[in-house]
Amino acid sequence: MRIVTTLSEARQCLDALPRPQGLVPTMGYLHEGHLSLVRRARDQNAVAAATIFVNPTQFGPHEDLTTYPRDMPRDLALLEAEGVQVVFTPSVEEMYPPQGETVVSVGALSRKLEGAARPGHFDGVATVVTKLFHVMAPDRAYFGQKDAQQTVVIKRMVRDLRFPVEIVVCPTVRESDGLALSSRNAYLDTEERKAALVLSRALTRAQMLHAKGERTAERIRLEMLSVLQDEPLGEVDYVSVADPDSLDEQTCSGDGSLVSLAVRIGRTRLIDNIVLGCDTASHR
């Protein structure tokens, strides 16, 4: 496995390898969710590459950039064991030259849901992913359904900027009790870890209502809120039943509606989602 830290090394190294090439962009502190993306990238391509970069521009001023969990030696060992050929681990200066001014902004999609709660977040994501695609030129790039809005924003960006890359979205990986894997789960203490199950419980309630024929999106939102309000450690940021492409809130839900939520458990903000008629919020 080659570990490269500069854009020119990354380009040179990938140019010498066969195609198709699959890229898994990450911020490190890898878990089974990331590894499921890596395995898919490895299975579908001649070469699997990954990036580890905690991207400062996608964190708000009061967010957890400085405390974001990191463990580079462990991450590299995991990627090597999965057969990744190239890992790009740039510095902040390598990705963001001094006095850089250019920002990629995907417009309205970036300002809904997570974008409303975290202004500027998706501009940071779109900008760094653009730089990675520009330099690493993957044939396919892999993202988790866990960050549903991120996948919608990136797909739109790829379409708008005509990037010749296929975006592959892989299912959310959950613990056996339903908690979606996230690097931020590391912040939860034992009591909060139990409380965090309220997210998957609320999503399961939505899926059950849908299975029973409920199609009034507001009823689904209210039922989810009532599940969430039963958890004293949880503070709801939003509950949404939205069109999966436009991310507009729906009046009538149906198969394919994106049900998502953000909840603070203590000081940790967690997100999760399901697609009605497709996913379950239990272990798979």
Summarize as ranges the residues that interact with ligand PAF (CB under 6 A). 25-27, 55, 58, 125, 128-129, 147, 150
Is residue 34 annotated as part of the catalytic site, yes or no?
yes
CB of residue 99 vs ligand PAF: minimum separation in angstroms?
A: 22
Q: Measured from the CB atom, is 25 or 234 closer to ligand PAF?
A: 25
Q: Measured from the CB atom, is 181 or 224 closer to ligand PAF?
A: 181
Q: How many CB atoms lie within 10 A of CB 46?
A: 13
Q: Which residues does residue 274 pair with via DSSP β-bridges, in sequence order?
A: 259
CB of residue 54 vs ligand PAF: minimum separation in angstroms?
A: 8
Q: Measured from the CB atom, is 223 or 237 closer to ligand PAF?
A: 237
Candidates 34, 62, 134, 283; catalytic one? 34
- Do 228 and 260 contact (CB within 8 A), yes or no? no
Q: Where are the alpha helices (DSSP H) in the chain?
A: 7-15, 32-44, 72-81, 92-95, 114-117, 121-136, 148-160, 190-195, 197-211, 217-229
SS3 52: strand
Alpha carbon distance, N-terminus to C-terminus of the chain: 30
CB of residue 9 vs ligand PAF: minimum separation in angstroms?
A: 19
Q: Measured from the CB atom, is 56 or 249 closer to ligand PAF?
A: 56
CA nearest to 271, candidates 237, 229, 241, 243:
237
CB of residue 27 vs ligand PAF: minimum separation in angstroms?
A: 4
What are the catalytic residues? 34
